[in-house]
């Protein structure tokens, strides 16, 4: 699974980088690419294909959560998941769902993410990402059946 994680806070990016390195060494099937701005993420999306995008709603170059989601959704066929402490995250995700966006229906409260566990057990990070893809995978299976 190839994941683009858009995170603007450097300490969190550092932990995610360590977790990604540990996952690669443990041969966990996840490739994490980090971006710190929406513009950087869009540049990566033009060059690479991703299965999952985890994003903040407000970034240094995008203060409107709805616009952040819309810009990412228009960049290709990938799953989007929101990981943020933004107080309006539930409402923004609900709006994206009603608009037909391929978005995980439950936003993740960023402060509750177990970054240390992701570092200690890379398979826990992979399981977390699979859970974000869960209803998309089951929906695709139902469509094929």
Please check the confidence at residue 27 and state whether its pLDDT lies above 50: yes
Which pLDDT value is given to residue 86?
87
- The tally of domains found in the chain comes to 1
Kindly indicate the confidence band of residue 136, based on its pLDDT and cuts at 50, 70 and 90: low
Kindly indicate the confidence band of residue 40, based on its pLDDT and cuts at 50, 70 and 90: very high
Average pLDDT of the chain to the nearest whole number: 90
Q: Which domain holds residue 126?
A: 2-144
Whole-structure pTM value: 0.88
Environment class of residue 74 by beta-carbon count within 10 Å: exposed (0-12), middle (13-18) or buried (19+)? Answer: exposed
For residue 114, give both structure tokens: 């177990």
For residue 18, give both structure tokens: 């360590």
| DSSP type of residue 100 | T
Nearest to 127 by CA among 23, 49, 14, 48: 23
Q: What is the CATH number of the domain that holds 24?
A: 3.40.50.2300
The pLDDT tens digits for 62-103 are 989 999 999 999 999 999 999 998 899 999 999 999 999 999
Q: What is the mean pLDDT of residues 32-40?
A: 96
Indicate the angle between helix axes 38-47 and 65-73, nearest 10 degrees: 10
Neighbouring C-beta atoms of residue 33, cutoff 10 Å: 17
Which pLDDT value is given to residue 79?
97
Name residues whose C-beta falls within 8 Å of residue 106's C-beta, 6 or more positions apart in sequence: 93
Share of the chain above pLDDT 90, in %: 85
């Amino acid at each position: 699974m190839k994941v683009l994680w858009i995170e603007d806070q450097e300490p969190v990016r550092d932990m995610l980088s360590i977790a990604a390195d540990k996952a690669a060494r443990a041969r966990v099937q996840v490739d994490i690419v980090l971006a710190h701005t929406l513009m950087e993420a869009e540049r990566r999306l033009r060059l690479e294909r991703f299965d999952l995008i985890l994003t903040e709603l407000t970034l240094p170059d995008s203060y409107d959560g709805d616009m952040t989601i819309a810009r990412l959704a228009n960049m290709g066929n990938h799953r989007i998941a929101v990981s943020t402490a933004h107080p309006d995250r539930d409402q923004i995700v609900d709006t994206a769902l009603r608009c037909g966006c391929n978005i995980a229906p439950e936003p993740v409260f960023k402060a509750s993410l177990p970054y240390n566990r992701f570092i200690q057990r890379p398979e826990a990070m992979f399981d977390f990402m699979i859970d974000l893809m869960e209803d998309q995978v089951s929906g695709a299976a139902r469509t094929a059946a």
